Amino acid sequence: MSRVPPEPEVENFLAMLAAQRGAAANTLSAYRRDLAGAVEVIGPLGAAGRDDLAKLSAAWIDLAPSSLARKSSALRQFYGFLIDEGLREDDPSSALPRPRARRSLPRILGHQEIAALFVTAEDDARSGSPEGLRLLAFLELLYGSGLRATELVSLPLAAVPRDAPFLTITGKGSVQRMVPVSARAVHALADWLAARGKGGRFVFPSPRGGHLSRVRLFQLLRDLALRAGVDPEKVSPHVLRHAFATHLLEGGADLRVLQTLLGHADIATTQIYTHVDSARLVALVNQRHPLGPGMVS
């Protein structure tokens, strides 16, 4: 396996990713490999210029678009780090090759489909059965707070405060974030906890000990979709997380706020959701920009 030479700038960059962004070990290893591959083509990265980076186009010509995008992103972040640290004044990353295809867009559920899921889940919860109350709590937290499936099923009881509408979530890279919980979700969660009984340290325990599995969560949501008249192939915990982000952005949420709520280390990951709201953004520019039609007298 190729290794990055003892280049202090690279090591400091990787240390920053670990310390400030909470990058996981696998993420750091991937960045190290990508940077090492670039070193093999153009030599030390700290002193590389635009002409050097342009050579990567030929070296990476056979890469899949996703691989090319990942490698280029690693280098762009590296040179951004050098500029932030005052180690470079210029940014040569504009010479990096660009992927031939855009990143695939997330599957999205429409408002009517979300409403159908809630109608069915609320009907189940009205029966007072623990299963129905648990399912509604799942739906409220996935769509209402944008939790990842793993974050939801492994949620410890200690993460649920008694006097504040927030959850303390431990996400990727063991980074903690505070996630607001809507009044509806607080009510659904309280009903479930009352029906849950005692024992275990997880909000959603498994009958066999530990917590409910991601696979079982997926199955329960697919069954809910089928009963709600929504295509089960369109419904998953991650799709509900996408819907949370998309519908928040449609409602005017700031992209940086959305990044915090989703627990994304890189704003570029959050920007995938901007595709859903291009019409609103154009309208915003027309209304608020000094040269927009609504501002010109």
Catalytic status, residue 275: no
Active-site annotation holder among 71, 196, 241, 247: 241
Catalytic status, residue 126: no
Structure tokens at 64: 């899949």
CA distance 195 to 113: 28
Structure tokens at 173: 């890279």
Alpha carbon distance, N-terminus to C-terminus of the chain: 64
Active-site annotation holder among 32, 134, 148, 211: 148
Active-site annotation holder among 70, 172, 214, 222: 172
Catalytic status, residue 187: no
Identity (one letter) of the amino acid at 99?
Answer: P
- Going by their DSSP bridges, the two strands 166-170 and 176-180 should be labelled as antiparallel
Contact of 237 with 152, CB cutoff 8 Å: yes
Active-site annotation holder among 214, 238, 275, 280: 238
Structure tokens at 106: 């997330």
**By CB neighbour count within 10 A (0-12 exposed, 13-18 middle, 19+ buried), where does 175 fall?**
middle
Q: How many CA atoms lie within 13 A of 235 on its CB side?
A: 25
Structure tokens at 155: 């949620």
Which position has the token pair 């192939």? Answer: 233
Active-site annotation holder among 31, 79, 143, 273: 273
Calculate the dihedral angle through the C-alpha atoms of 172, 178, 182, 186, rounding to the nearest 10 degrees: 90
Catalytic status, residue 172: yes
Catalytic status, residue 208: no
Structure tokens at 76: 């762009």
Which position has the token pair 């959050």? Answer: 270
CA distance 213 to 207: 11
Q: For 51-60, give one letter per residue: b (16+ CB within 10 A) or e.
A: ebbebbeeeb
Catalytic status, residue 79: no
Known catalytic residues? Answer: 148, 172, 238, 241, 264, 273
